[in-house]
């Protein structure tokens, strides 16, 4: 076979390549289960779909969409849907693989999946966005379902898009299948606490990380890249705990205020216009974001943002990976050498999928919990998982990332081994 033609081969500097090198680092800690590790290096299934829609001006546009089920050994697929002009199959493969690791790291009964459409939703009208979403849902309807694979929001997707997905799937199967997606609006089977869950998980794991390195959150300086669902909520919770958000970057640019940005005004503005419209701050060059003095750095935008060169420059003592795959492996090594604690994506941002799991359970039982119950259970699951990972890191003297992979891969590959190979 010509290996160069295989879709599992990573291209240079890709998220999939980052993921594969993270798996390679865990192999020495897997013992006899290492025999099964190849199963993690290739997705179980990848569906590529054409999404044609009629635009408001009468023309026909085609978009490319993907749904990848990376591993289903421990349960149905779970993972978000991303709408972004840079989405590729390879990126979705990496994101689906990180979901496999994440759901196992927090011990949820799911596998890993992810989806996306190569589209800039900001260029579409609401009607066009709805048509893209519905056609895509119909196309991937071949492989999603409440017991097989359950999508959720990711970059540029939200509760409204989940409502259209749920409705489209339901129309196609006949009935109302609320459990087919999570992150839905509350009155359509959504869960209290879901919107803020990922940011809350970043905060909970970050607070524990700060405690362990003796960093007082009161007065701690924070820089946040990506001020959407994840970044802005993590920033708000850290500010409530006494931290100062000194810099924020989104797709419109970067703002800085050494006295702390006023989040009550910045957060609503960031949702409508972006952070650069904010008055009470200095607008700085995007690259200068990485030089803003900070104690805590939160990459919460896209993959590959923390490069080796930026890792060498940051003054942060703690990096909280709100985004998936924000740190490239060479940067990881530099941060470890410099004694910077990295709480890795696969545990740091697992709060979202944890409350998605609660939403799915509530949909099946048609009995809904109050927000306190959600948050108490979320905090408990996150803290138990993190403490277990920390013990593994201490035992083997490895980074939290490799320890998270060790804990997760053991669970996934044990399930793989117990199920055996079919036929």
Q: Which is nearer to ligand NAD, 199 or 209 (CB)?
A: 199
Question: CB of residue 106 vs ligand NAD: minimum separation in angstroms?
Answer: 12
Stretch that binds ligand NAD, among 162-170, 223-231, 374-382, 387-395 (CB under 6 A): 223-231
251 binds ligand NAD (CB under 6 A): yes
Query: Is 239 or 413 the residue whose CB approaches ligand NAD more closely?
Result: 239
Instruction: Output 77 or 226, the one with its CB closest to ligand NAD.
Output: 226
Report, in Å, the least distance between residue 57 CB and ligand NAD. 26
Number of residues binding to ligand NAD, judged by CB under 6 A: 23
The residue number with the shortest CB distance to ligand NAD is 228
Q: Per-residue x/- mask for ligand NAD, residues 318 to 347, rule CB under 6 A?
A: ----xxx-----------------------
The only residue of 156, 314, 375, 392 in contact with ligand NAD, by rule CB under 6 A: 156
What's the min distance (Å) between Cβ of 421 and ligand NAD?
31
Interface with ligand NAD (CB under 6 A), residue from 112, 141, 153, 246: 153
The answer to the question of residue 306 lying near ligand NAD (CB under 6 A) is no
Cβ partners under 8 Å of residue 257, min gap 6 = 246, 247, 280, 281, 282
When the beta carbons of 49 and 155 are compared against ligand NAD, the nearer one is 155
Residue 191 binds ligand NAD, judged by CB under 6 A? no
Shortest separation between residue 285's beta carbon and ligand NAD, angstroms: 13
Q: How far is the CB of 16 from ligand NAD (least distance, A)?
A: 15
Interface with ligand NAD (CB under 6 A), residue from 352, 362, 374, 416: 352
What residues pair up with 117 in beta bridges, in sequence order? 65, 83
Phi, psi of 249 (to 5 degrees): -130, 135
The contact mask relative to ligand NAD for 196-215 (x = CB under 6 A, - = no) is: --x-----------------
Which residue is catalytic, options 41, 44, 102, 114? 114
Catalytic (active site) residue 78: no
**By CB under 6 A, residue 359 contacts ligand NAD:** no
Q: What is the 3-state secondary structure (H, E, C) of the chain?
A: CCHHHCCCCCCCCCHHHHHHHHHHHHHHHCHHHHHHHHHHHCCCEEEEEEEEEECCCCCEEEEEEEEEEEECCCCCEEEEEEEECCCCHHHHHHHHHHHHHHHHHCCCCCCEEEEEEECCHHHCCHHHHHHHHHHHHHHHCCCCECCCEEEEECCCCCHHHHHHHHHHHHHHHCCCCHHHCCCCCHHHCCCCCHHHHHHHHHHHHHHHHHHHCCCCCCCCEEEEECCCHHHHHHHHHHHHCCCEEEEEEECCEEEECCCCCCHHHHHHHHHHCCHHHCCCCEEECHHHHHHCCCCEEEECCCCCCECHHHHHHCCCCEEECCCCCCECHHHHHHHHHCCCEEECHHHHCCHHHHHHHHHHHHHHHCCCCCHHHHHHHHHHHHHHHHHHHHHHHHHHCCCHHHHHHHHHHHHHHHHHHHHCCCC
Q: How many CB atoms lie within 10 A of CB 285?
A: 9
Q: Which is nearer to ligand NAD, 151 or 413 (CB)?
A: 151
Beta carbon nearer to ligand NAD, 39 or 103:
103
Closer residue to ligand NAD (CB): 74 or 102: 102
Cβ atoms of residues 15 and 303 within 8 Å? yes
Compose the 286-305 pattern: x for residues touching ligand NAD by CB under 6 A, - for all others: --------------xxx---
Minimum CB distance to ligand NAD smaller for 154 or for 295? 154
Min separation Cβ 395 and ligand NAD, Å: 27
Report d(CA 7, CA 29) in Å as an integer: 27
| Residues at the site binding ligand NAD, with contacts judged by CB under 6 A | 153-156, 198, 225-231, 249-251, 300-302, 322-324, 349, 352
Q: Catalytic residue numbers?
A: 114
């Amino acid at each position: 076979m010509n290996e160069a033609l295989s879709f599992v081969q990573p291209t240079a500097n890709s998220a999939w390549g980052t993921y594969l090198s993270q798996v390679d680092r865990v192999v020495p800690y897997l013992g006899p289960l290492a025999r099964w590790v190849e199963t993690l290096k290739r997705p179980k299934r990848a569906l590529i779909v054409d999404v044609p829609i009629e635009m408001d001006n009468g023309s026909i546009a085609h978009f490319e969409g993907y749904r990848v089920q990376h591993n289903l050994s421990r349960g149905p697929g779970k993972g978000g849907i991303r709408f972004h002009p840079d989405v590729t199959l390879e990126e979705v493969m990496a994101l689906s693989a990180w979901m496999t690791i994440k759901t196992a790291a927090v011990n949820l009964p799911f596998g890993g999946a992810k989806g996306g459409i190569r589209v800039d939703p900001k260029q579409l009208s609401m009607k066009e966005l709805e048509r893209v979403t519905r056609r895509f849902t119909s196309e991937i309807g071949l492989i999603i379902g409440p017991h097989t694979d359950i999508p959720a929001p990711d970059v540029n997707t939200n509760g409204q898009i989940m409502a259209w997905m749920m409705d489209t799937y339901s129309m196609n199967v006949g009935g109302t299948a609320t459990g087919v997606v999570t992150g839905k609006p509350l009155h359509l089977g959504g869960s209290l606490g879901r919107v803020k869950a990922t940011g809350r998980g970043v905060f909970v794991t970050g607070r524990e990380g700060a405690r362990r390195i003796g960093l007082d959150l009161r007065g701690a300086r924070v820089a946040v890249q990506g001020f959407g669902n994840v970044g802005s909520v993590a920033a708000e919770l850290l500010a409530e705990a006494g931290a100062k958000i000194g810099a924020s970057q989104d797709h419109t640019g970067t703002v800085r205020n050494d006295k702390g940005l006023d989040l009550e005004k910045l957060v609503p503005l960031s949702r409508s216009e972006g952070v650069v419209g904010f008055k009470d701050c200095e607008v700085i060059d995007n690259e200068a974001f990485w030089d803003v003095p900070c104690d805590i750095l939160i990459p919460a935008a896209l993959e590959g943002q923390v490069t080796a060169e930026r890792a060498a420059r940051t003054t942060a003592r703690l990096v909280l990976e709100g985004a998936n795959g924000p740190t490239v492996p060479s940067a990881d090594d530099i941060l470890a050498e410099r004694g910077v604690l990295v709480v890795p994506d696969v545990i740091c941002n697992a709060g979202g999928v944890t409350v998605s799991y609660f939403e799915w359970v509530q949909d099946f039982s048609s009995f809904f919990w109050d927000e306190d119950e959600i948050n108490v259970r979320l905090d408990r699951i996150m803290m138990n998982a993190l403490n277990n990972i920390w013990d593994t890191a201490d035992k083997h003297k490895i980074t939290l990332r490799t320890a998270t992979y060790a804990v997760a891969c053991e669970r996934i590959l044990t399930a793989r081994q117990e199920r055996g190979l079919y036929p």
